[in-house]
Amino acid sequence: MAELIEPEKFDIAIKVRGLCNQFGDAVIHENLDLDVRSGEILGVVGGSGTGKSVLMRSIIGLQIPTAGEIEVYGKTLDTIVDEEESRDLRRRWGVMFQGGALFSTLTVAENIQVPLREFYPRMDPELLDEIAAYKVAMVGLPNDAGPKYPAELSGGMVKRAGLARALALDPALLFLDEPTAGLDPIGAAKFDELIRELADTMGLTVFLITHDLDSLYATCDRVAVLAEKKVIAVGTIPELLATEHPWIQEYFNGPRGRAASGSNDALTRADRKS
């Protein structure tokens, strides 16, 4: 019998070493290294084409890297031969893709039940409905959202429904790809607050891809910067501001960066805890 993973025993949830991703002649990543600490919200930023989503897809096994090694809770997905061990690892994470990526022909409740049906095919239908209703409430959706189809929801509600599905299996790891893209400032701020609250109450480790500077200031413990085909810096926002790399300076000290810094009193989430 495969030994089950105990996420709480790991200080480093995700370890990436020497990652290379290449599509034809286009090299996306070259010798990329990154550690994601257990219990942190790590923001991942970078210019267009730097491979933020490709990195996430590589970690969760949707993209086969050209070279390198990725460990999640000490396990390397592409080397696991035991099916039970592989399933145990995959159920430790939840993923919210860009735009929510809900199945349009399924209701919100049915979307939430998809991962439950995959990993627990014999689960009682009543229990499935109860879990779906609980997840709907957890992400701040109204009770009547469960029977609705994605086309009947606002953009913000679709995002929350996608988050509810990502949390269906009570994962230890949560991957979010541009979760606030397309939301108005008020909706984005409320979504940031929701992520922070869920991470704190559930003890989640969050891998957050975003271009939203307000989200970085409001939610992230650290930020990883992708450029030059690798992670060029990782740290708190004050630590990144102390670096001299031109892209980092332009990103955080440009007009939008200064506005985000001011609106958040230049405090990171870690600063608020201290």
Q: Which residues of 253-262 are buried (b: 16+ CB within 10 A; e: fewer)?
A: eeeebeebbe
Q: How far apart are CA 243 and CA 232, in angstroms?
A: 10
Q: Which residues contact 224 (CB under 8 A, 6 or more apart)?
A: 34, 42, 43, 44, 45, 231, 233, 234
- The residue segments making up the domain with residue 133 are 103-166
In a domain, 115, yes or no: yes
In a domain, 70, yes or no: no
Looking at residue 86, its pLDDT comes to 84
In a domain, 261, yes or no: no
Mean pLDDT, consecutive 10-residue stretches, the chain (274 aa), reads: 78 97 95 98 95 96 93 85 83 90 95 95 96 97 95 94 97 96 92 96 96 94 97 96 92 68 52 46
In a domain, 196, yes or no: no
In a domain, 134, yes or no: yes
Considering its fold, how many domains does the chain have in total?
A: 1
Looking at residue 2, its pLDDT comes to 59
Looking at residue 179, its pLDDT comes to 94
In a domain, 271, yes or no: no
